[in-house]
Amino acid sequence: MSEQFLIPGGDYSALDSYLKELDRHKILLVCGKHVSTLGIGAYFKDLPKRLPVQVVHFDGFSPNPKYEDIIKGVDLFRREQCDMIAAVGGGSGMDVAKCIKLYNGMDSSRLYLEQEIIANEIPFLAVPTTAGTGSEATRFAVIYYRGEKQSVAHISCIPTAVFFDPQLLATLPDYQKKSTMLDTLCHAVESFWSVNSTKESKALGADAIRKVFAHADGVLKGEADDYSGMFLASNIAGKAINITQTTAGHAMCYKLTSLYGIAHGHAAALCTRELFPHMIAHTADCIDPRGEEYLKETLAQLASAFSCQGPKEAAQKLDRFVTELGMEIPKPKEEDYAILRSSVNPVRLKNHPVRLDEARIDALYHKILSSSR
């Protein structure tokens, strides 16, 4: 389990203490180009003045990281003889850093994606700048090879330490605050109803759901305590997804993101708010081996996490929450629906508790993108 630290008011002294104790001397800092405008950027810039630690920057990756980006990062880590990795950013930066860590001990003359992952002890520090992906708590990373999405997973890529600076959320535009909190909420909901759910994942999911609703208004109003609460919600939801993996909501949202240029959490929320009532109406099509009655009980427990009397009320609350945040619905062309339904990864659907075939996926996309809501 990762060590976790909360940085109050931008006081990074705990981070200094952590690095002193770790006794590493050259950090590969994986970050976006905007990091220089943040307090954490200034921290790493001045770090060599305080401690015998050098910082090597790597920002040569795209928002949807490519395999070639990872190769550059691994080569830089080796060439500079780094002994630690730090990631500052959202999901993309975390995914890049995870893959650099995983691939560092592997054979560079062969395609890393085709090799068995070998665990290593490289320390990995994560400083998330958004409260949404929960990537700092999961064993998963997503990269693209020849235009195709590749899922990478291994327990050793979970960061060994995580620092949360609530003030980093203050730098986000409102749209990103809304989208990332919705990503957290969707992670929590999907982990709850996944066929891989456990007692632990449900407890984590319920906790994250309550925290999202408790802190959403404060985050949008710029309250520091609510920033901390939303970071915690995101991290907890990430831990839940680490157990269960995502379901149809995420499988269906990726093409919405690329086709219409909307944020990941925005797209996930549009999908999940339609999947929720669909599942309530189709429990007879349950594919969870624990059976339909178990699914009905799960949906009732999920409603309780939403502080609602029943699943239908909870689905309405989710719908209202997304609507009141002002998350716009993209305007599709008729030919878009064929692209969307063919984009869904059937592997992800195996985690979803209710059977979805191509016709149902198509019908759901029509509801998701309906302007007559």
Between residues 371 and 255, the one the model is more confident about: 255
Inform me whether the pLDDT recorded for 303 exceeds 90.
Answer: yes
Helix (H, G, I), strand (E, B) or coil at 104: coil
Confirm if 235 and 4 have CB atoms less than 8 A apart: yes
pLDDT at 25: 94
pTM, rounded to two decimals: 0.90
Q: What is the pLDDT of residues 22-62, one digit of tens each?
A: 999 999 999 998 898 889 999 999 999 999 999 999 999 98
CA distances from 85 to 55, 162, 275 (A): 10, 12, 38
Locate the DSSP E strands across 63-217.
84-89, 124-128, 140-145, 148-153, 161-164
| 158-162, 203-207, 228-232 — most confident range | 203-207
Say if CB 193 and CB 283 are below 8 A apart: no
Enumerate the β-bridge partners of residue 4: 162
The dihedrals phi and psi of 353, each to the nearest 5 degrees, come to -80, -10
In 3D space, the residue among 242, 236, 316, 304 whose CA is nearest the CA of residue 277 turns out to be 316
Could you report the per-residue pLDDT of 74-124, keeping only the tens digit for each?
999 999 999 999 999 988 999 999 999 999 989 999 999 999 998 899 999
Task: Supply 362's token pair.
Answer: 């198509």
Q: Is the confidence at residue 182, as pLDDT, over 90?
A: yes
**Cα angle 321-327-330, degrees, rounded to a multiple of 5:** 135
Domains annotated for the chain, with CATH where assigned, are 3-168 (3.40.50.1970), 174-368 (1.20.1090.10)
What's the number of CA atoms in the CB half-sphere (13 Å) around residue 140? 18
pLDDT of residue 208: 98
At 183, list the tokens: 């990503």
pLDDT of residue 319: 97
Tell me what the pLDDT averaged over the chain comes to: 94
102 sits in the region (left: phi over 0; alpha: psi -120 to 50; else beta) called: alpha
The pLDDT score that the predictor gives to residue 4 is 75
Is residue 6 predicted with pLDDT exceeding 80? no
* Residue, of 351 and 6, whose pLDDT is higher: 351
Element at 30 (helix H, strand E) = strand 26-31
Is 90 exceeded by the pLDDT of residue 177?
A: yes
Q: Which amino acid is at 292?
A: E
Q: Which amino acid is at 53?
A: V
Q: What whole-number distance in Å separates Cα of residue 161 and Cα of residue 228? A: 17
Helix (H) or strand (E) holding 188: helix 174-193
Residue 38 DSSP label: S
Tens digit of each residue's pLDDT (9 = 90 or more) over 202-224: 999 999 999 999 999 999 999 98
Q: Is the pLDDT of residue 2 over 70?
A: no
pLDDT at 372 over 70: no
pLDDT band for 10, please (50, 70, 90 cuts).
Answer: confident
pLDDT > 70 fraction of the chain, expressed in percent and rounded? 98
Beta strand 84-89 with 124-128: parallel, antiparallel or unpaired?
parallel
